[in-house]
Amino acid sequence: MTNNDILRRIRFTFNYTDKKMAEIIASTGFVVEPELIKHWLKKEDDSEYVRCSDREFSHFLNGLINEKRGKKEDGQPAKAEDHLNNNIILKKLKIALNLKTEDIVSLLNLAGFKVGESEITALFRRPSHHHYRECKDQFMRRFLTGMQLKFSGKPMNQSSSKAPVKNDNTKTDKVKKPVKPIVYGDYENNVKVSKIQKTKPATKKPTKQKRKLSMNNFK
In a domain, 196, yes or no: no
Looking at 84, 115, 145, which one is the last position of a domain? 84
In a domain, 207, yes or no: no
State whether 12 and 50 are in the same domain: yes
* Segment 96-124 mean pLDDT: 94
State whether 91 and 59 are in the same domain: no
In a domain, 71, yes or no: yes
How distant, in Å, are the alpha carbons of 3, 103, 168 from that of 69? 22, 17, 44
Model confidence pLDDT, tens digit, residues 129-149: 999 999 999 999 999 999 999
Structural domain including 91 reads 86-155
Phi-psi region at 92: left, alpha or beta (left = phi > 0; alpha = psi -120 to 50):
alpha
Is residue 183 helix, strand or coil?
A: coil
CB burial of 53-64 (b: ≥16 within 10 Å; e: otherwise) equals ebebbbbbbbbb
Number of helices and strands in the chain (H, E): 8, 0
Which has the closest alpha carbon to 53: 76, 78, 82, 33?
82
* Segment 59-87 mean pLDDT: 90
**Structural domain count of the chain:** 2
State whether 123 and 68 are in the same domain: no
3-state percent breakdown (helix, strand, coil) of the chain, nearest 5: 45, 0, 55
| Long-range contacts of the stretch 75-82 (C-beta < 8 A, 24+) | 77/27, 77/28, 77/29, 78/28, 80/28, 80/30, 80/55, 81/54, 81/55, 82/54, 82/55, 82/58
Q: Give the model's pLDDT for residue 194.
A: 42
Pairwise pLDDT comparison (118 vs 161), residue with the higher score: 118
- Rg of the chain on CA atoms, in Å: 41
In a domain, 41, yes or no: yes
State whether 113 and 74 are in the same domain: no
- Residue 21 buriedness (CB in 10 A; 0-12 / 13-18 / 19+): buried
The rounded percent of the chain whose pLDDT value lies above 90 is: 63
The amino acid that residue 187 corresponds to is Y
State whether 7 and 80 are in the same domain: yes
Integer Cα distance of 133 and 49 in angstroms? 32
State whether 74 and 91 are in the same domain: no
Q: What are phi and psi of 154, to 5 degrees?
A: -150, 150
State whether 105 and 140 are in the same domain: yes
pLDDT band at residue 211, thresholds of 50, 70 and 90?
low
Q: Give the model's pLDDT for residue 197.
A: 46
Model confidence pLDDT, tens digit, residues 45-60: 999 999 999 999 999 9
Asked if residue 9 lies in contact with residue 156, where contact means CB atoms within 8 angstroms, the answer is yes
